[in-house]
A and B are shown apart, each in its own frame.
Chain A
């Protein structure tokens, strides 16, 4: 019964991540892209944890989720601080 729950959880989280990928694709500014990509990374942490429970190997996938959480945070902060110091580099020139 719980494996059915985890299967549906994986499907719903993947659907929400696809919404965020669409948001990254249609964003007008680089900050919008970063925000949607960060939200997608946060969903990916949940997806990794749930996948571990679905395949009954949570001990491996939880470590992957922990590492992904650290990388997601560091990536967002690094690009955010870079754009804060070089404001002109964040401007996009596209329709």
Chain B
């Protein structure tokens, strides 16, 4: 059971690391939401499940499961609210032809 939990924790950290990588490397806001919301949600859920597997059945495990369920619902909702606000306030998605004006003056390479 402990090895199973450790494997779950390492896989969760893997997903979280890829959300940080996508946050650094992707070109505009919408692609970054795509990378972060899904990877971060799955990463923290797997990490909490791994901690539950280490702990065994107790009140702490119940609270960890509550956190996992809440994050699994709330994190996509938050990402959706943020993305809809960005789209309605006029932030245009990045395409091959049109670079967004918000990205053209930074230090990032084209």
Contact = CB atoms under 8 A, between A and B. Distances in A.
Contacts of A45: 44, 67, 71
Interface of A: 2, 5, 9, 12-13, 16, 19-20, 22-23, 26, 28-29, 31-32, 34-36, 38-39, 42-43, 45-46, 49-50, 53, 58-59, 62-63, 65-66, 69-70, 72-73, 76-77, 80-81, 83-84, 87, 90, 95
B74 A46 contact: no
Given A45-B44, A77-B77, A12 B64 contact: no
Given A29-B102, A66-B63, A84-B85, A16 B74 contact: no
Max chain B Cβ within 10 angstroms of own Cβ: one of A49, A83, A90, A95: A49
B13 A49 contact: no
A35 B29 contact: yes
Contact of A50 (B2, B51, B81, B86): B51
8 contacts: A36-B23, A45-B71, A49-B51, A59-B59, A66-B63, A76-B81, A84-B84, A84-B89
A interface: dominant SS: helix
Contact of B40 (A5, A39, A90): A39
Contacts of A22: 24
A29 B91 contact: yes
Interface string B44-59: 1001100100110001
B4 interface: no
B48 A53 contact: no
Interface string B67-99: 100110011011101101110111100000000
Question: Ordered nearest first, which 4 A-B pairs have the shortest CB separation?
Answer: A87-B89, A84-B85, A80-B81, A76-B78
Contacts of A50: 47, 51
A73 B72 CA distance: 11
Max chain B Cβ within 10 angstroms of own Cβ: one of A35, A65, A90: A35
Contacts of B41: 42
